[in-house]
Amino acid sequence: MHIDLSGRTALVTGAATGIGRATALALGEAGANLVANHLGRPEDAAELVHELERAGGRALAIEADVSDAAQVARLIGEAEAHFGAVDVLVNNAGILLEKPFLDMSEEDWDRVLNTDLKSVFLCCRAALPGMLKRGRGCIVNVASELGYLGRAGYAAYTTAKGGVITLTRSLAREFAPTVRVNAVAPGPVATDMLDTSVMSPEMIRKEADIPLGRVGRPEEIAGTVVFLASEQASFYCGQILSPNGGALMA
């Protein structure tokens, strides 16, 4: 299957590392112009842009906190001004907080919900008008298997990811057929968020205790995102695809 996104512009939030970085590279490889959003990682973002350009693509790094409405408006505005459009929006940026529920402060809750859920609202709200005006667009949100399962010690994160799943379905219904909105709900993936280099062997064993017997690689999530962003997924609407090693079968 050959995926061709040439002539399209894709914006990936939190693109400097992990799943976002792998997704940006895979979208670039498929021919898309790439807007790499990052927060406080100018060197990683610049390196990503160079890698995309070395491969013959066009790319632009834009720093913005996606939990802040004014910064998101600037992000989408600069992306549209530079490339003429945002055709594909990948809401990937996120943070994880492990904390017993009764120790969680209001600030903890707001920080996680704002970064992991409100950001998706803000980015979609800013990018959708242009997509509707141009008569086409595609949004892929990065949720998590934990958005279905919940997990002790992760109430804010799992609530946010559950919200991303439902928001995906609501937006898919509201903006079809012009804009297709879908999501991925990955299982455990080796990134800064799940840094296996600093985890105890017991923790790694616990994370890898799924049918495929290992944690995933960022590229294994990126492929699903690129598929959903492509014409090959033209009949997918409001779907949550689950590259999760079999952690959850639904």
Q: Interface residues with ligand NAD (CB under 6 A)?
A: 13-14, 16-20, 37, 39, 41, 65-67, 92-95, 115, 142, 144, 186, 188-189, 191-194
Q: Residue 92 CB, nearest distance to ligand NAD (Å)? A: 5
**Edge-to-edge order in the sheet of strand 179-184:** 59-63, 33-38, 9-12, 88-91, 137-142, 179-184, 240-241
- Is 157 an annotated catalytic residue? yes
Task: Name the residue nearer to ligand NAD (CB basis): 32 or 62.
Answer: 62
Are the CB atoms for 164 and 147 separated by under 8 Å?
Answer: yes
Q: Residue 218 CB, nearest distance to ligand NAD (Å)? A: 6
From 148, 154, 157, 236, active-site residue: 157
Task: Name the residue nearer to ligand NAD (CB basis): 142 or 228.
Answer: 142
Percentages helix, strand, coil for the chain (3-state, rounded to 5) are 50, 15, 40
Going 176 to 179 to 180 to 181, the CA torsion angle's sign is: negative
Task: Name the residue nearer to ligand NAD (CB basis): 83 or 154.
Answer: 154
Are the CB atoms for 133 and 224 separated by under 8 Å?
Answer: no
C-alpha closest to that of 156 among 206, 197, 105: 105
Q: Residue 179 CB, nearest distance to ligand NAD (Å)? A: 20
Q: How far apart are CA 42 and CA 60, in angstroms?
A: 11
Taking CB positions, which residue lies at the least distance from ligand NAD?
18
Q: Residue 70 CB, nearest distance to ligand NAD (Å)? A: 13
What residues have CB less than 8 Å from 116, skipping those under 6 apart?
A: 94, 95, 156, 157, 160, 161, 164
Task: Name the residue nearer to ligand NAD (CB basis): 4 or 98.
Answer: 98
- Which residues are part of the catalytic machinery? 157
